[in-house]
Structure 1
C-alpha cells in the first residue's frame, strides 16, 4: 500500500525544512512530508559555525553576493534579486529569531546557538502539520506522468510534487542520474591545506591578518587572514582558494605548491623597505625589530629560512641575505601534500548539472514537478554563511513555484 502526500521533500536539512515551512504557510490544506534518512534532521545546521549556525552573510547587493560562489555565480544572480540576505533576516525575525552581524560579516542568531535555528524549524513544521519521517532512506524515485512514486527503507509514497533537498548525497545523485539528470562528479570544496615545512612546524596558532596566496602555475589566487595550524594552513585565505580551486586541485590529487605573500608587498618594494630598515636600525638585532605586521614567531622562522642568524644585527647582513628575506616575506613557496576537512563542515562542488534546472523556479527541466533546493545542485560557496543563503533562496523560490502551480 502506498501513502499519498501532496508534497514530498527528500532531505531533512536546512533547505528541506525551509521549503516545507514556506510551502505549508502558502498552502495550509496540502499534506506535506519530509523524508529524512537519519534518526534526526538538521545535523549540518547543528554543527555550522562551531555550533552557533552561520545563518547568512551581511552582503545585501546581489551582484556582490554572487561573487562568493565558485559554482552558480551566474545562475544565482536572478534568484538573489527575488530572495536574499535581507529577506532571510526578516524571515527568521518574523518567527522570533533575531540575527546579529559579526565584524567579518557573518551572521548568527543572537543566542549564539544553532539550537535556536533548529527549534525554530521544528516549531514551524509542527505548527503547520508537516510530517517529519525519520529513518526513511530513499531507495527509488519513479516519475509517473503527473506524479511520483518514492520507495524508502520503510514505506512507499506517492506525491504530485517532489522537492530534492538532500545536499551532497551520492546515492540520491545516482537515483537522479538514472531518471535522466546529468550529475557533475563531486569533489571536496572547503578544506584546509596539509603542509609539512620547518618554517611553520612549531608555530601553530599564528595568524597573519592579510596574506595573499597563489597556487603556483595557475591563476588561482586569494587574500585574507591566514592561520598556521598543527598540520598546515587554514583560515579564509586558504578556504577561499580551496573553494575556487576545488576542481583543479582535485586533478592534482591535492599535491601542489603555493606562493605566500605574507606582507602584501611587491618583492622590490619589500626589498627597498628592508634596505631602509637596515640603515635606520643598523645596531639592532633583526629578530627584535620587525617593521612588518606579521607575528613575531613567524618573523623568526622567516629570518632563519633566509639563512640569517637570530643573533645578527641589521648591520651584519649582506645583500644576498636581504634578498632572501624579501623573498620569504613576499614569495615564500610551500609544498601542499594533502587536505583536511574544515572543522566538521563538509562542502562539495558537484551535483545536479545547472543546465538541468530552471533558475526562475528551481524546477527540473527534465522532469516536471520535480524541484531542487540547496547543495544537491552544482552550487557551492566559500565559508561565511553563503552556502546557507543558497539553501534559503533556492528553497524559497521552489516553494513559491510549487504554490503557483
Structure 2
C-alpha cells in the first residue's frame, strides 16, 4: 500500500507548522509544501522589523483570545490544544530561546527572524518534508481517490489530503482556485486589517515622527475606540492605537471606503475638567513661564507648539496671562482633535486579512472542511485575525498544529 500523500499549499508559518506536525504524527506519509513565491516563510522573515514576533506572553487563554477582533470564541477551545505556552516549549525544545519584551511581545533571543526560519526549515528537512517553491496552484479539485492539484506551470499532481495555508487574500475572486467557496457560509468577504490612516489635509504632517504614549482614538459616529501610543507620520497616523482601531473597525471602515472622521484625545481618557484643573495648578506654580516653553502634561514640545499656534497663543504669552478663550481652544485641541481620513496605508508587511474561510464551515476539532472531506485549512486564510503583538502568528501555530495532527485520519 502506498504511503499517504499530504499536500500543504502555502509555505508560511501555518503551512510549515502543519507540515512538520503531520510529518511527526504520520511518519510514513509523504508531505510536500507548495509555495507560489521563490522563498518560503516570507512573512516570518519581515515580521517584527526582521525579528519575528513569535507569540505573546499572555498565558491565560481567556485573556489571550480578547486580542482577536474576529474568531475569538472559535479559537478558544483550539488554544486548549496548543497555546502560547506550548509554542514557547516547542521552539525552546528545538534550541530556540525566546524572550519577553515589556509590552508582552516575544522574540527569539537572537533578535533575528532567521533563527525561526532556520528552526522550521531544519526541522522540516529532518522529517523529510519536501519543499517546492515557485509552485502556485491554479486549481484544486476533488478526485475519486483524493485531490487533483493543477499547478500554474501546467503540471498536474494528486494528493490524498490537502492543507490550505495560503494566508489572506485581499479580494474574494482570489479564492477562485479552491473548490466552490462562494457561498457566504463558506467564504466571508475579505477586507484589510492592521493598516494606518491617511490624512492628507492634516496640519500636523510636518511633525512626522512625533508620538504620544497614550492617546484615545475613535471613529466618529461609531462606538469604535482604542487607546495607546499614537505616531504622527508623513501621511497621517500610525502606532498601536491606530492599528488596533483599524483591526476592530475593519468592516466599518471598509464600508465607508476608508473615508471618515478620526477623533483624537491626546491625553487619553483625561476629562476636560481634569485638564482644566491641571492648567490652573500649573498657572499657580509657574505663572511667569511662557506657555509655549513648557506644558503640564509632558507632551512633545513640537506638538505642544503646534497646538498653541492653532489656539492663537503667541510665543510671548505667559501662563499668568493666558486668556480664557485661548485656554478653551487649547483644551478643545487636546480633547477633541478631528481629522478627515481619506484612505489607508499598509503597515509595513504585517497587515492581515479580515475575512476568509468561514469558521463555521470547518470541523472545530480537526479544521477539516465540512463539505469537502480531506481538505483542511490553517492560518490567516481562515476568518480569524488578531491585533499586532504576536497574536496572528499564534493563530498560525495553533491551527497549523491542529490541522497537521488530523491530516492522516
TM-score by length of 2: 0.94
Instruction: Indicate the residue corresponding to 1:175 in structure 2.
Output: 177
Q: Distance in 2 between matches of 1:18 and 1:260?
A: 40
Q: Which runs of 5+ in 2 are unaligned?
A: none
Instruction: Indicate the residue corresponding to 2:298 in structure 1.
Output: 293
Q: Is the 8 A contact 1:210 1:225 kept in 2?
A: yes
Q: Is the 8 A contact 2:230 2:237 kept in 1?
A: yes
Instruction: Indicate the residue corresponding to 2:161 in structure 1.
Output: 161
Q: How does 1:48-59 map to 2 (within 5 A)?
A: 48-59=47-58
Q: Distance in 2 between matches of 1:176 and 1:141?
A: 5
Q: Distance in 2 between matches of 1:381 and 1:12?
A: 20
- Alignment partner of 1:228 out of 210, 232, 237: 232
Instruction: Indicate the residue corresponding to 1:273 in structure 2.
Output: 278
Q: CA deviation at 1:317?
A: 2.1
Q: CA deviation at 1:272?
A: 2.4
Q: CA deviation at 1:197?
A: 4.7
Q: Is the 8 A contact 2:6 2:407 kept in 1?
A: no
The answer to whether 1:245 aligns with 2:249 is yes
Alpha-carbon displacement from aligned partner over 1:236-272 (angstroms, at most 9, x marks no partner): 0000001111111111111111111111201122122
Instruction: Indicate the residue corresponding to 1:117 in structure 2.
Output: 116
Q: Distance in 2 between matches of 1:329 and 1:133?
A: 55
Q: Is the 8 A contact 1:199 1:302 kept in 2?
A: no
Alpha-carbon displacement from aligned partner over 1:144-181 (angstroms, at most 9, x marks no partner): 35511111124222222110000013566223362666
Q: Is the 8 A contact 1:5 1:33 kept in 2?
A: no
Q: Distance in 2 between matches of 1:385 and 1:141?
A: 31
More moved, 174-183 vs 156-165: 174-183
SS of alignment partner, residue 287 of structure 1:
coil
Q: Distance in 1 between matches of 2:156 and 2:68?
A: 37
Instruction: Indicate the residue corresponding to 1:132 in structure 2.
Output: 131
Q: CA deviation at 1:278?
A: 2.7
Q: 1:198 to 1:77 in 2, by over 3 A?
A: closer
Q: Distance in 2 between matches of 1:397 and 1:318?
A: 65
Q: Is the 8 A contact 1:166 1:172 kept in 2?
A: no
Alpha-carbon displacement from aligned partner over 1:262-302 (angstroms, at most 9, x marks no partner): 11201122122223323332221101221103111111111
More moved, 193-202 vs 36-45: 193-202
Q: Is the 8 A contact 1:4 1:158 kept in 2?
A: no
Alpha-carbon displacement from aligned partner over 1:2-54 (angstroms, at most 9, x marks no partner): x9961111111111011111111111111111111112211111111111111
Q: Which runs of 5+ in 1 are unaligned?
A: none
Q: Distance in 1 between matches of 2:325 and 2:200?
A: 26
More moved, 191-200 vs 36-45: 191-200
Q: Distance in 1 between matches of 2:308 and 2:392?
A: 40
Equivalent pairs, count: 402
Q: How does 1:308-319 map to 2 (within 5 A)?
A: 308-319=313-324
Instruction: Indicate the residue corresponding to 1:83 in structure 2.
Output: 82
Instruction: Indicate the residue corresponding to 2:206 in structure 1.
Output: 202
SS of alignment partner, residue 286 of structure 1:
coil
- Alignment partner of 1:189 out of 190, 193, 196: 193
Q: CA deviation at 1:310?
A: 2.2
Instruction: Indicate the residue corresponding to 1:36 in structure 2.
Output: 35
More moved, 301-310 vs 192-201: 192-201
Q: Is the 8 A contact 2:69 2:248 kept in 1?
A: yes
- Alignment partner of 1:381 out of 351, 368, 386: 386
Q: Is the 8 A contact 2:290 2:317 kept in 1?
A: yes
Q: Distance in 2 between matches of 1:227 and 1:180?
A: 39
TM-score by length of 1: 0.95
